[in-house]
Amino acid sequence: MSAKVRKAVIPAAGFGTRFLPFTKSVPKELIPLVDKPVIQYVVEEAAASGITDILLVISSDKEAIIRHFNPVPELERRLEERGKTDFLAEVRSVSHLAKIHYVYQQELNGLGDAVAQAASFVGNEPFAVLLGDTVMRSDTERPVIGQLTDVFERTGSSVVALEEVPLERVSRYGIADGREVEPGVFKIGRMVEKPSPESAPSRLAFAARYVFTPEIFDALARTGRGKNNEVQLTDAMQKLLGSGSMYGWRVRGRRFDIGSKTGFLKGTVEFGLRRPEFRDEFAAFLRETVAKMES
């Protein structure tokens, strides 16, 4: 099995009920942060980490995602004629980030089922999984999924991204119980899905990025429906753990779950303030608004 991670799977078929009513007609993965849809940040993160082939898992009412990554020759011609070279470069780059493939998840049976759709695309290689509604801002030059592939290349075992969350929020996530074997790297002993604060083994939550060996597909095939009557990726990971080792990586960066309304608001502030052309005006506006509301 090749040790290099070249392929990634981005599940993007889910309903997006947490972001209704917007998601009635528009996929949540197309929600913009400043001027780019969430899923473009995710594809860029993968491409900048050395991933060359990406499989997007979608459903039939989310085909607008395909259109976002397809070239639009008519628009490109217009921009060219009008000398709008910056926009032209921007639009063209979207279609050249990586080789993008699609598969339909016929029934929305959960994240585990979405990943299972990637079996023939992946074959016998390690691969990355990046949730299509979650943007990761890295604290280092290396994008977050690249941080995970680095750990995979050292250990040869599956790796899950971990982020420390406040104790009162552990019940929203899968939580890892692990021993830190080198700075930031945890050997996972067990994992608990959505524990109560009292029963949580740690505050290290799974953070929307994974690298798996292809054994995950056997584990998924043996995984029935779990919580919410959906096939849970965590349940398959638990099986994988039973037959081998798995590591966790405390990410150097921050997660923004744009599928939640507060995640979207926080992401907009973070990514808005990080754009040099908007920073001063936007920061002044935020300060003024907060000051007015508090007075």
Label the pairing between strands 158-164 and 204-212: antiparallel
Smallest separation, CB 262 to ligand UTP (Å): 13
If binding is defined by CB under 6 A, does position 51 make contact with ligand UTP? Answer: no
If binding is defined by CB under 6 A, does position 174 make contact with ligand UTP? Answer: no
Structure-token match 């009162």, residue found: 168
Closer Cβ to ligand UTP, 15 or 282, answer by number:
15
* Given 126, 143, 259, 267, the residue binding ligand UTP (CB under 6 A): 259
| Dist CA 79 CA 93 (whole Å) | 14
Closer Cβ to ligand UTP, 114 or 170, answer by number:
114
Smallest separation, CB 294 to ligand UTP (Å): 32
If binding is defined by CB under 6 A, does position 149 make contact with ligand UTP? Answer: no
**Residue 139: alpha-carbon gap to chain centroid:** 16
DSSP single-letter state for residue 198: T
Closer Cβ to ligand UTP, 79 or 220, answer by number:
220
* Residue nearest to ligand UTP as judged by C-beta position: 14
167 class by beta-carbon count within 10 Å (0-12 exposed, 13-18 middle, 19+ buried): exposed
Label the pairing between strands 174-182 and 53-58: unpaired
Fill in the per-residue mask, 94 to 123: x = in contact with ligand UTP (CB under 6 A), - = not in contact.
-----------x--xxxx-xx---------
> Between the CA of residue 256 and those of 83, 167, 265, what are the distances in Å?
36, 18, 9
* Given 132, 253, 263, 267, the residue binding ligand UTP (CB under 6 A): 132
Stretch that binds ligand UTP, among 13-21, 85-93, 191-199, 210-218 (CB under 6 A): 13-21
Stretch that binds ligand UTP, among 7-15, 77-85, 189-197, 282-290 (CB under 6 A): 7-15
Contacting residues for 132 by C-beta, under 8 A, at least 6 apart: 10, 11, 12, 29, 38, 39, 42, 56
**Of 131, 127, 125, 126, nearest to 112 (Cα)?**
131
> Between the CA of residue 265 and those of 13, 152, 268, 274, what are the distances in Å?
22, 33, 5, 14
If binding is defined by CB under 6 A, does position 18 make contact with ligand UTP? Answer: yes
Chain contacts with ligand UTP (rule: CB under 6 A): 11-18, 29, 57, 105, 108-111, 113-114, 131-133, 259
